[in-house]
Chain A
Amino acid sequence: MRFKRVLSGLMAVALAVSMAGCGGGNGGNTAGGAKGEEGTVVASNKAAHYYKAEYLEKLPEEFSDINRAFFVGDEIVYSSYGASYDTPLIGRVNLLTGESSVVWKKEGTDETSITGMGADTEGNVYAFFRISRIKDEILEKNADVTDEDIIKYIYEEWGMESYEEAEKYWNNDLKSSYGDKSMAEIYSMMTADYENDYIREDTFVKYDASGNEVFKNTVDIGADIEIRDVKTDKNGNILVLTGEWIGDDTQNYIQIYNSDGSAAGKVELDTYTDKLLTLANGDVAVANSGETCEIITIDAANRTKGETKTIAGLSYIGNLCAFGENEYLVNCDSYVTRVNTDTGEKEKFFTWLDSNIMSYYVRDFGMLSDGGIGVYLESYGTGRSVDLAILREISEEEAAKITPVNVVCFYADQRLQNAALEFNKKHSDYRISITEYYDFSDENSDYQTAMDSFVTDCATDSSIDVVSFPGYSQMLDFADKGLLTDLTPYMEKDELIKKDNIIPGIVSAFTFKDKFVALPSSYRVETLVGKKSVVGDRQGWTAKDCLDAYEKTGALVMTPYTDRATIMRTLISLNYDEFIDIENGTCNFNNQDFQDVLALAAKYPEEYVYNEETNQMDDFKTGKQLLYTDSLPEFNLGQSLASICGEDVSYIGYPTSNGNGAMMAFYGMTGVTSNCKVPELMWDFMRTMYLPEASEMMYGDSEYYNGSILVSELDKYLDGAKSWKNRGEVGYDTYNVELRTPTDEEVETMRTLLNNTTAVLDSVSTSIMNIISEEAAAYFSGEKTAADVAAVVQSRVDIYLSETK
């Protein structure tokens, strides 16, 4: 009886468990939810530690124009080019005391240059200097050289088109750059062979912690050797990391010197590395990012590689520093991970952004004796600037006092990070935390899994405040689901980032169901240029026009550097409005235009195979290729094509049944979620990305457009183009073209083109493109007619679109 009870009890439990098995199943594929599985990307922004950056306010004047800088103990030791690249120096700054000193500085007319430097944990600094000058006999040989000789040399050897051009270049630009050097010296410098015609004197010098010279030895390190780092091991051996470029390849060595600076041998390394690492036990090692990431100890005594320890899970090793016995902190772009080579443990240690640091600017970091982390930062943009910061750990409780604002993205670009950093500096009660779904440093990163997780989380996680979309079609999908806030009210209050001041094509691209749902941080326009005498000047050819041109001339219409799939994607994107109506969930592929698109795409190879003999510019000039891809709003290519062909060119655009054939490519499309509790604050964060300062930070003030989406910035750029002077030369394949100031007419043509561009690159979702590519294959292989394929595409895409309504 008792047995029966137990049996029935067990059966009941078994039934429940079996039902659990039923409940867990699903008939289809999973959308995301794969977090934490092996081989997936875990989009967790939670780091084990929280740090806060304290920037060093007073940096020594010499700490600028940095060439190399290394953290050694509490100090950063650096070499500088000096202002105007003519006063190189080596200096040191103690991050904890703020003390600084100059170890060596070039004085007077001395020809000495620094070829490499490093420091050890004792505070000693090691430097390699070189004095190089042209041999006297070469100078004597060239003693009678005149301006004409130099111009002739430039004309003949530097590929100038005419003697006059070379003369102009010499007199206007080059001559002044040589200062007060004699003609003999200049000519000798131009013609001399660095290996044979120069006298090189290399010295290896050691300075102690007080800056006193300990030894100074003459060494021969070879003409093309670069010295990347110097460290000493626990036995006093000096290890010098060197490399020699031979063509595209590099040979890497560690040169070993005895403690007195005398050469003792070398160890060959397998891959490029630019930093030596002093381990906790005093050994010196290198980090190797080959097939596997490894820390290789150098056995200086035996002139060989010692113990090798693998770091699992990393696809490459960025910068790193020793953290403890067998432990390292490795910079993984947006965050720092702690790895233990003995246990294989790996944890996300802290994120740069949470510490108020722009990860893009981090050049080196190291542990300080008081537990802080020293960080050396370099930023570019309007000018190069350097910073030093100390990261101090704060408790989780302290970090939790600040309200987190969650921004998710596939990969945080510089503008997004900068905007978050600016926001965090400005708001003490809120902190933007960026979650990235794709981790380039993780060798297990899988794009599709990351994308699935991204899509699912964005659609279901109510804690997300801002989304930065990796693609335009994804942004449209989210807008269609009503998951994005209308930005119009915030833009109406904004004095600069308002609808009237945003490029019209962008306004139309990001207005969905009368709501302004997102904004890109930057944009570009792509179009096709043709010779006016051949293609005329009617913008927006149709696919049929291209096919006719192809039949008539036999010329390839568009770029040869592409394949069928890319052309299909481009053509469908351009004709998006004609083929797809996402707002109403309908499509129209059952027409001649789509069949023409198929026919045009069929002219391209299934897979593009690079052919180094292809000279696109020659093909364009001779008429083998009708249209050339141009990226706007720069003027360079249009001018160059006209100059090379000797005739006017016109912007024809990609084949489309409507519009001007140009299309916009967007970057960093960002929107506020409909669930965001602080939309106004988020607009404050977002708008930072669109400010002129943000664009300048990326590109500086140059003739290259900074991608700003503001009409005022575009107008400033275009109007400024009218006064560009001395633009220099550009090279295309075998052609060099002298750029000129754009004419008023060219500028206005460009402005009109940009203001009338409405098509968006990659506007079609991957699912639709997959359907089209899948069905088009039958047409490309000749099994089905274009009409049959169009009918099937129509049916399948219609299902896809109607499902979303």
Chain B
Amino acid sequence: MDKPTPRINSSLREKYVGKTVRIIGKIVSLSGNTAVLNSTDHGQVLVHLNGESQWGTDYVEVIGQVEPDFTLREFKTSNLGNDFG
């Protein structure tokens, strides 16, 4: 995976539509195939899960692609523990 994946927050999503990005956020809600994260600028991001990753901790980093409707289609997630920032 040699392509750069910039780290963004909710307000930068519009600049990266169609690109692969990383978002770090705190899980607000998690249900089935979707999740909502609070990102660093206190904006909320809807994430469509791919069903594979385990979301265990409060804070996660999601690598995914920004959809035209500004949701994030998840490729991979990393758990970042419960005390972040």
Genuine A/B complex: no
Give the A-binding residues of B (Cβ under 8 A). none
